[in-house]
Amino acid sequence: MKDNGPIKVIIADDHAITRSGIRTILSIYDDIELIGEASNGKEVVSKCEESIPDVILMDLDMPVLDGVEATRMIKKRYPDIQIIALTSFASKKHVSEAIKAGANSYIIKNISPDEIVKAIHKAFAGETSLSPEATISLMEGIKEPSVSEESLTGQEKKILAYIVKGFSNKKIAEELYISDNTVKFHISNLLYKLNAANRAEAAAIAIKNDFI
């Protein structure tokens, strides 16, 4: 995360009116800079090559190249870019595909302007945002964990609880008075034990199985 300067954002959505609305919202905030817009997945990949953003608001249903594939390509090339899936629906398939592709957040377009900005700030800080609809869909589509709650250590349970809250590695480290590398080590173990592809799936598994 940068120490100073505004958060650089790209909006990717094939609806001009949606881009215009988000552009208006973001223009109010001095700590957010809109550095580009794209109307399809191919365009947003190209925009990232021109100017690397901190956060992308990514619509999933776009022409030429959809948002899921664009997310996958961007995260492979630029793993530090935070991607927020911003869409009109929260089906199990779309939520799961977006999260597995590398989106760290999934929010629905009917949220308030303040919530959009909050999601951007959280993504920039390495934290996650999942709308209630997305959380439910993700829980319905998750695989069963490969271990029971008893197989998790006390420290892993604490870290899992913070993951459910959407905390970043840095924030978890501060809460538990441990190093960032120790947090990464425990999270890696948790993902393996829970048979989870990423933090969002781990959180959904924890909630569904009452692990916390």
DSSP secondary-structure letter at 53?
A: -
> What per-residue confidence (pLDDT) applies to 207?
82
Is CATH 1.10.10.10 correct for 143-208?
Answer: yes
Domain locations in the chain as residue ranges:
7-139, 143-208
pTM equals: 0.78
pLDDT digits (tens, 9 = 90+) for 194-208: 888 788 888 888 887
pLDDT digits (tens, 9 = 90+) for 45-89: 999 999 999 999 999 989 999 999 999 999 999 999 999 998 887
pLDDT digits (tens, 9 = 90+) for 78-125: 999 999 998 887 666 778 888 888 898 888 888 899 999 999 999 999
State the fold for domain 7-139: Rossmann fold (3.40.50)
- First-last CA distance in the chain: 29
> What per-residue confidence (pLDDT) applies to 155?
93
Residue 171 has pLDDT above 60, yes or no: yes
SS3 198: coil
Query: Which position has the token pair 């609880």?
Result: 161
- Sheet with 32-38: list strands edge to edge: 32-38, 7-12, 55-58, 82-87, 105-108
Residues 77-94 as b or e (16 or more Cβ within 10 Å = b): ebeebbbbbbbeebeeeb
- Rounded CA Rg of the chain: 17
Give the Cα separation of 132 and 136 in Å (integer): 6
> What per-residue confidence (pLDDT) applies to 2?
54
Same fold for the pair 7-139 and 143-208: no
Closest among 42, 76, 72, 37 to 57, alpha carbons compared: 37
